[in-house]
Amino acid sequence: MNYFAYIVLLVALISGCANPINERTAYNYYKMALRAEAIRDYASAEQNYDKALFNARIAHSNATISASMYGLGRMKGYLCKYDDAEKLLLSSLTLEEKITGPESSITTMRLFELARLNFDRGQYGAALPYFGRGIPAVKKLGIETSDPISLANEFDEYAIALGKTGHKDMSESAIKEAATLRQNNPGRKVTFTPVRYNQPCTK
């Protein structure tokens, strides 16, 4: 779940593209967006992800389009442009499912981001399908070994969303899953801490 891993992906995509000039330009804007995001300058990151997306579309590079939409969607959300955020994240999810498959690690990032966007805004029913798809997918990818506490945290939020929507038995089951993960992994820490959408909007 490290966003900077996309740099490696974009480097590989530069060669052999239909429009290498625009692909390289997209890559450069994407790097600038990552740098701005790293220092929480979300407004600058938004601008650069938008420019990366524009050039990626000209280059017809689906992987870069997906990555840029994902980055831009997150920045829109951090800036409280929630409708735009959701549209971009959904578009990125749809495209990524075609590129890497419905249960790839990159696809699951989109699923959990959409779950988080809805959960943080109190839209628990809308969050459920994304948790419901994302959790089994990352379990198949081995997250119970690689990052069990992050998975426990997702189970916590899934349990809350289930409880808020009247699914008591499923909520209790999710609570038990989270507790088991923590009991089986004493001393383990999360490897990824997401930015939340319920913080004061940044400018």
Q: What is the secondary structure of 166-186 as a DSSP string?
A: T-HHHHHHHHHHHHHHHHHST
Number of domains in the chain: 2
200 falls within a domain = no
Residues 13 and 95 in one domain: yes
Q: Are residues 9 and 95 in the same domain?
A: yes
Tens-place pLDDT, residues 24-81: 999 999 999 999 999 999 999 999 999 999 999 999 999 999 999 999 999 999 999 9
Q: What is the pLDDT of residue 18?
A: 52
Q: Is the pLDDT of residue 1 over 70?
A: no
Are residues 90 and 2 both part of a single domain?
yes
Give 21's pLDDT tier (boundaries 50, 70, 90). confident
Under 8 Å CB-to-CB from 27, ≥6 apart: which residues?
Answer: 10, 11, 13, 14, 52, 64
How high is the mean pLDDT of the chain? 92
Q: Tell me the CA distances in angstroms from 135 to 86, 91, 127, 176, one per residue in order.
A: 20, 20, 12, 14
Q: Does the predicted model carry a pTM greater than 0.85?
A: yes
Domain containing 35 equals 1-100
pLDDT in tens, 66-122: 999 999 999 999 999 999 999 999 999 999 999 999 999 999 999 999 999 999 999
In terms of Cα–Cα distance, which of 112, 166, 146, 132 is closest to 3? Answer: 112
For 2, other C-beta atoms within 10 Å of its C-beta total: 9
Residue 88 structure tokens: 């971009």
Residues 8 and 84 in one domain: yes
Residue 114 included in any domain: no
* Tokens coding 184: 């089986």
The enclosing domain of 67 has a CATH number of: 1.25.40.10
3-state secondary structure of 120: helix
Instruction: Determine, yes or no, domain membership for 132.
Output: yes
85 and 139 part of one domain: no
Establish if 139 belongs to a structural domain: yes
In a domain? residue 165 = yes
Q: What is the pLDDT, as a whole number, of residue 4? A: 47
Instruction: Please report whether residue 199 resides in a domain.
Output: no
